Structure formats: C-alpha cells, structure tokens
Chain A
Amino acid sequence: MASPATATAPSTSHLLKYKNGIHYTLATGLTPLNSKATAAWKNKKRTAKFVAAVMAPPQPQQRSPASTGSVKHAMTMTEKILARAAERSQVSPGENVWVKVDNLMTHDVCGPGTIGIFKKEFGSQAKVWDREKIVIIPDHYIFTSDERANRNVDIIRDFALEQNIKYFYDITDRSDFRANPDYKGVCHIALAQEGHCRPGEVLFGTDSHTCNAGAFGQFASGIGNTDAGFIMGTGKLLVKVPATLRFVMDGEMPHFLLAKDLILQIIGEITVSGATYRAMEFSGSTVKSLTMEDRMTLCNMVVEAGGKNGVVDADQITFDYLEGKTSSSFEALYSDEAARYLQEYRFDVSKLEPLVAKPHSPDNRALARECRHIKIDRVYIGSCTGGKTEDFMAAAKIMISAGQKVKVPTFLVPATQKVWMDLYTLPVPGGNGKTCSQIFEEAGCDTPANPNCGACLGGPRDTYARMNVPQVCVSTTNKNFPGRMGHKEGQIYLASPYTAAASALTGFVTDPREFL
C-alpha cells in the first residue's frame, strides 16, 4: 500500500506540533505533508527514482514493516486498537487510517440527519453495511409533545424497519415508558448495559459522550451525521490516530470522593482544550479499583477536555460486568510497556477533595468547600455522566446520613429503564433495607422521572426539569456552558452525586464531608 509506514516514527517534539497544526487530512496512509517523516519519505522516493534511471537495478517492492521484519515500535492501547481495525501491523500518532467499524450508534436527534445523508449519498434503496452493527437508541427528546421531536423517533423507526436493524430500542407509548419492552433510555448507558461495548473494538456514535464506552478498553469516539452516514454505507471511517495523554492515579480513594471528582480534577488541570486530538489513558492503582460505572464516569467526560477518546484497561472487573451481557467474542488490547505518551500526569488521589466546575465551563474547577456561600435553586441528578445506579446509590447514602429533607427541588432522572428498576428494588447499603426511591421520597426529592437524557441539554421547552428561568443548579451532568440546561443565564455547577445530594440538603453548594 502506498504508505510511508517504513519511515521512522515521528519524535515527541513533532507530535507536540499537532496542537495547532493540521488536524484533519484525507491523504490516507500519508503523514501530513509538513512532517519530518514525510520529508524523509519524499527524499527516499526521489533518490530511489534517480538510481533506477541510471543503473536500472531491480527495484525492491515497497513492503510493509511486518513482512520485512523491521522492528515494531511500542504502541499505546489506542494505537493498537486502531492498527488492528485498519488491518495494519502498526500505526503512529498523526497518521490517517481507514478503520473497520465494529459498532455505530445513533439516537433520535442525529439519527434522522444521518439517515437523510445515507439515503442521499448511497441511494434511496441502499442497504446499510451491516444490520447487526448499527444500534439505534431514541433517548434525547422522548417525553415531550414537540411534534418534530416525535416525528424524529418515527423517522428512525421507519428506517429500522426498512433496514431490518437488529438493535432498535423503540418507544411508542410515551405516557408510560414501562409499557415499551424495547425502550432503554440514555444511549451510552444502554450500550454498556446491553453488551455492545467490548474491549478492543471500535465504536462510533453521533453523540459527544460516545467516549463513555472507552471504559471497556475500546476505541469509542463521537462523530457528526455526515461521518455516520458514511459509516452506514461503507462500514469504515477515516480516523487520525491520536497521541495519548496518560493519567496515572494512585492512592486510596477517600470515602467522600467519587469518579466525577477525579475527572473534574483532570479537566480543571488541562483545560477544555487540553486533550484536543488526544486519547486519554487512565491507569494506576486507583483506576484499577474503580467499578465499571466509575470508569464510565471517568471516560464520559473525556470530550469535555477536548479529548478524542478515553481508555481504561480491560480487566476482571470488565469481564465480570460483561458476563451474561454479550455472547460476542472479543480480544482486549493493552498498551506496551515502552509505549510513548505525549504527556504523563500523576495524581495522589488520597490528597484530592470534592470539586465543582463553576459556571460556565467544565474546566472552571473549584473546591466544593470554597463554594459554601453559593445559594442554589435546584439540584439535578441524572444523565449518562451521573444518572447510573451507583450514582443514585451515592446520593441516597448522603440522604440517609443526613436524615433531613432537601431544601430545594431535587430532580432525579435515571439514565435507563434498568437504573429506574434498581432505584425501586435494590436496598441501599446502610439504609435498613430501604430502596433509593424510598429514601429519596422521605427526603422530599421529586419522584424519579422517565429515563432519558432529560434536561442535561435543555431540550424542547416542555422537557422535565428544564431550566426555563435563570436559576442556579448543581448537577451531576457533563456540560455547564451558557444555556446548556435551557436558559442562557442559568448557572450550572457540575458535581459528583455526593456533592449534589449534599447541596440539595443545605440549599447551598456543599462539600459532602458535612454529611459523611
């Protein structure tokens, strides 16, 4: 294949250039034209031609490194996954490669647009590349009377039927989500719970938080409608291999800290563009001790740092989680010992404290205890980031501890049907056999709502818990840009479920240690 893969891998200083350099090239298999590697390749080619013209010896065929047996350099997990998906023996950061996609996910907001593009570009009678590799999950604007939103669910249903899509988690009866056996809820959590996330695979989704699935040791990244339409027809996508940033977290996790605090710490450290075009690799003894849901919370907000994807090593915790969820085989990949990282950050987790991200940016980090004077109007616990079973369990734990009622409206939006069920059936540790729902009811929270994305991103005007007037909200969601939850002047403090629950109990932004 026409590729300068035989050239030496770019040095680290070259990689650092990519922050402001050319970010997207269509020259497949070629490193960007201004790189040292390409310069070396250009020189090689010119010389070879010149020699051939004069002496005419037989010109050796350009062979890939694997066949020449040349030394392979160490790769990170992300590089390995992309290499395998591109059927290459190795890849380097900065290279553009065509990868085979294992799964494509879309939802009700971007699905119709993606389908429109697919039909226009491949033909109205075209068939998708693989009816079993597309997962269509309505979750964003479901429980609304907005006609266009409802029409969008109809559009994806028609397409799913027409293409005989295997995985379409439909909802037809909006008045009672439980009456819909197929309906799941928030796409990223549904993907995990239904066994679509598998180590070593490549997943793309038409949503920025697709990176959530990186918790399973796979390459998972968000794309737009056009790229998704392309995958729908071809099963492949052109991807630029990202360099990897490594985050090593060691130390015992304090009892008042949750994974959300860890990722807020990181984003505050590197800023919202600190990981642009990078893979974020999370490792260390603390990460190894995290549950799958914790790991998802960590990888979920990789995009808030500008990251392309996030990864955590697949281990026994991963395999146990997947047990019974998927029958597909998979092969996990791991970073080589000698793999090169662009940057490495080390954290002693035992020294960290609960955090919030103040308005209006996820990197506007502050200690929760230093925001004690900030009066709030409401609390929102939900979304793919903070609406999983363990997130609610954590919030319930704080409420048991406090034994009081909340001082502000507290909205609870479980991510999926399964999570909703758990709230009503699972006993909370230390709760004397009570379930989350009972504890929340006693504390005066709102009744757990329909599982969906809800007000995390505002949505149509009638969305439950949408901020329609300027208010101050502490939320377990992922973005707090102006207008994110509805009103442009709304103020959103991103926090862990512990911090959110503690804040609900006092009516101010509160460090959970007040109740733990």
Chain B
Amino acid sequence: MILNNPATFLSINPSSFGKLSSTSFRMTTAAINAMKSLSVSTNLMHFPAKTSSKLALPQTQQISRQSLHKNVLNFHLSTPRNNRISTYSVPNPPRAVASQSYDALTEPNKKIFHGKCFVVDDNIDTDQIIPAEYLTLVPSKPDEYEKLGSYAMIGLNAKYGRFIEDDQIKTQYPIVIAGANFGCGSSREHAPVALGAAGVKAVVAEYYARIFFRNSVATGEIYPLESECRVCDECKTGDIVTVEIEGNKLINHTTGKEYVLKPIGDAGPVIDAGGIFEYARRTGMIAAPSS
C-alpha cells in the first residue's frame, strides 16, 4: 500500500501534487539559516525512511464502532500512528491538491480525521487529563506509553461520560472538542501524550494553555486546533464529526453544521513530521541519532 512504502511516495513526480506551499519552503531555508548558530551538526542528512518517530510500537488496531462511512473510518481509525510519519520522508512535503474525496487511500496527506467527538468545556486541566498518580509511567517506554493512554481523561467529572470504556485501552473518540484554556495546569507532557496514546488525533478548543499547546506540537502527538467560536456549546459527545486540517474546518455530520477553524499555521509541519526532533532533523538542525 502506498502509505507503507515511502519509496513509492518518493518516486512520484512532485509536480503532480500541485504548487509547493510557499510557507513550508520559506520556513525550511529560514530554519536552516537560524540553525547555523548551533553547535551541533547542521548537515542536511539524507533521511533514511523511518516508519516511526517513536520507539517501535506494536501495531494496534482501533476497533471501529461506526457503521457509517465504514471504509473511510476504518482506514483512519485503524491506521497506526506512524503512517503519518512515513509519508513525509521527503523534506518539503508537497501539499496535496484539495479534493472533495474522502478516499484517504489515495490522498493520505490531506490530514482529515473522522469519527465520534468527545465534548468537554472550559479549563480542563492536566490533573483531569492525566491524574498525577499515573505520572510514574515513563512515556518514552513503549509499554508504559500505552498504559498512559489507557488512563487518558480518567480524572474527568463523571458528567462527561467515559472517555475510554472499561475493557478498552484506546478511546473511540478520535476528536476532542473543548472550551477555553484546555490543558491548563501542569507542564507535564504526559497530558498530550496520554491523549495521543489513547488514539486522539485532534483537539478542537476555543484556545489552549501555552505549555499544553507547546507540548502537543513538540511531541507531535495531537493537532491542537482552535475554533472561531464555542464549538463545544453546539456539539455533543457521540456526534460524528470530520476535522480537516488543511481545509481549516470542522463538520458535524450529526447536526449538519460546519465550523471554521483557525489555521494550524507553522505548528502544522512540526506535528506532521512527528514532533520537534523529527522536524529539526529534516531541516538540518540536528543530526540523525548516532548509535
């Protein structure tokens, strides 16, 4: 399949993908210029095709519960996280031409997430996202990473409902919709990591606490998107939604309403790459790890 074979992707003529985004291009050269002042190697590396920016994880399959849009949903929800990375093993990934099709099999880099949403409101702090007693789990250890995910949102008030069912370790809600100041509280990176490990793809909030936003981008675990209005007031947990990163929109299929999202901006390519280290490597800022 095209996704699992970066070589196939690399051999595709970039011009068939349409205009290179000037944003990403300029950023790369600017990034390289700025990186020169660093004391580490700035050689632009030939990047070996990587399948994952995280330690190798067993390929976990999300059990899809949706009967609508079965094929598309299965693809998105069952795609292991690392596929996003393997599609971007070229510097300056060209942006796909916008299309109406939801067939992710041929347009994997459109970054569209589809599924049930979980709705919370304002000031959801890190103690609710991942209570402190679970902080003994070290996110860089693969088995503990998975465990962390299984505890995501366990500190929430019961009124929101269960984020992860008792017998599951992954959530059935790939999209979280929140109000103001999502992720406030601690600087613990365990918060966005737990959400990502649980299977969350994107959060759409009114706005974020800065450390949480920064950690989401640096780890590349989730896309922290901002809405123009209080989407959390108009959506209910269980609504089927689609989030289009590049289209800057959220569609609620259950209510039929569409919402404009603020562009992810420069944080986008960092998350696409899989986090700040992958991004820094691709822009020549740091060398590939020496073993």
Contacts and interface: CB of A to CB of B under 8 A. Distances in A.
A273 B180 contact: yes
B95 to A, nearest CB: 15
Interface string A195-236: 000000000001110100000000000111111011001111
B40 interface: yes
A501 B203 CA distance: 42
A24 B214 contact: yes
A33 B267 contact: no
Interface residues on B, range: 35 or more
Nearest to A147: B136
Contacts of B207: 19-20, 273, 276
B184 interface: yes
Contact of A234 (B38, B209, B218): B38
A371 B101 CA distance: 59
Interface stretch (A70-78, A171-179, A404-412, A457-465): A457-465
B58 interface: no
A393 to B, nearest CB: 29
Contact of B186 (A24, A208, A233): A208
Contact of B40 (A21, A234, A276, A458): A234
Interface string A299-327: 00001001010000000000000000000
A1 interface: yes
Interface string B236-274: 000000000000000000000000001101110110000
A interface, size bucket: 35 or more
Contacts of B97: none
A328 to B, nearest CB: 21
Contacts of A149: 136
B55 A22 contact: no
A224 B290 contact: no
Given A24-B267, A226-B218, A276-B210, A236 B38 contact: yes
B47 to A, nearest CB: 14
Interface string B96-126: 0000000000000000000000000001010
A25 B214 contact: no
Contacts of A125: 290-291
> Looking at chain A's contact residues, is the secondary structure mostly helix, strand, loop, or mixed?
loop
Interface of A: 1-2, 19-30, 32-33, 87, 98, 109-110, 112-113, 115-117, 120-126, 129, 140-141, 146, 148-149, 152, 155, 206-208, 210, 222-227, 229-230, 233-236, 272-273, 276-277, 303, 306, 308, 361, 457-461, 479, 481-484, 486, 488
Interface string B192-211: 00000000000000011111
A123 B181 contact: no
A227 B290 contact: no
B264 to A, nearest CB: 9
B34 interface: yes
Contacts of B190: 113
Given A117-B277, A273-B209, 4 more contacts: A23-B210, A122-B286, A222-B211, A482-B128
Nearest to B141: A116
B157 interface: yes
B22 to A, nearest CB: 10
Given A121-B286, A152-B136, A223-B214, A479 B267 contact: no
B138 interface: yes
Contacts of B55: 120
A122 B131 CA distance: 30
Interface stretch (B12-20, B23-31, B83-91): B23-31
Contact of B34 (A28, A208, A210, A224): A28
Contacts of B131: 458, 483
Most chain B beta-carbon neighbours within 10 Å: one of A26, A28, A30, A98: A26
Contacts of B289: 120-123, 126
A306 B214 CA distance: 13
B291 A208 contact: no
Contacts of A126: 289-290
Contacts of B157: 482, 488
Contacts of A25: 265-267
A188 to B, nearest CB: 12
Nearest to B22: A33
Contact of A206 (B40, B187, B213, B290): B187
Contacts of A233: 40, 286
A121 B277 contact: yes
A-B interface, 3 closest residue pairs, ranked by CB to CB distance from nearest = A116-B140, A224-B189, A28-B34
B235 to A, nearest CB: 19
